[in-house]
């Protein structure tokens, strides 16, 4: 019986450590444990502290802009600003310029220090708040990505294949339903 209790306790203790090691995006929950990342506030973590002023400006302006478009955040997102690809990879990401992890946080790669990338990911954060993290995964791509590309004011006139189609389909849908009931109408999909 004691062995079973000891084994159970050990398993309970080791599970988070194993998850941390195996599923790197989980590191967004405690980014200051990642080498070189420092959380300056509950909202901004950064790899290179000399770039904090730029990160803070990007954050505040993007948060303001997106709040006007999709409503106030229930909880302002935490954003981790990586200055190197090593930092971005250490959090479990490779290709994208920026990534949102549900309501846990946003990670910006060194390629993603642009307001429209941050606004895009903040929209995904709002989607997770409005729909729930699991329900967000079940919504159609045209709604989720189309909304993020369209409402982030992404300056690219032409996106690659499916992203352009998603943005166009979202814009057509939005023209029909209007912006006043954006979330109510989106929940019906």
Domain edges within the chain: 30-187
Give residue 90's pLDDT.
83
Over 70: is that where the pLDDT of 1 sits?
no
Helices 52-70 and 141-151 meet at what angle, rounded to 10?
120
Give residue 21's pLDDT.
39
Burial annotation 102-114 (CB, 10 A radius, 16+ → b, else e): bbbbbbbbbebbb
Q: What is the mean pLDDT of residues 67-92?
A: 92
Q: What is the mean pLDDT of residues 15-26?
A: 40
Is residue 105 within 8 Å of residue 77, measured between CB atoms? yes
Q: What is the mean pLDDT of residues 2-15?
A: 51
Give residue 95's pLDDT.
84
């Amino acid at each position: 019986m004691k062995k079973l209790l000891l084994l159970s306790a050990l398993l309970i203790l080791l599970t988070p450590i194993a998850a941390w090691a195996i599923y790197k995006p989980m590191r967004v929950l405690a980014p200051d444990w990642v080498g070189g990342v420092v959380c300056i506030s509950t909202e901004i973590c950064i790899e290179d502290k000399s770039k904090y002023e730029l990160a803070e400006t990007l954050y505040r302006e993007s948060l303001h802009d997106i709040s006007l478009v999709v409503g106030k955040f229930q909880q302002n997102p935490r954003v981790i600003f990586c200055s190197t690809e090593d930092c971005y990879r250490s959090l479990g990401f490779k290709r994208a310029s920026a990534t949102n992890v549900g309501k846990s946080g946003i990670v910006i790669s060194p390629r993603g220090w642009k307001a429209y990338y941050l606004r895009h990911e903040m929209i995904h954060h709002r989607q997770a708040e409005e729909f729930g993290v699991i329900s967000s995964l079940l919504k159609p791509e045209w709604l989720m990505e189309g909304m993020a590309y369209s409402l982030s004011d992404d300056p690219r006139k032409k996106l690659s294949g499916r992203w352009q189609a998603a943005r166009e389909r979202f814009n057509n849908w939005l023209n029909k339903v209007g912006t006043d009931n954006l979330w109510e109408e989106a929940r019906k999909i």
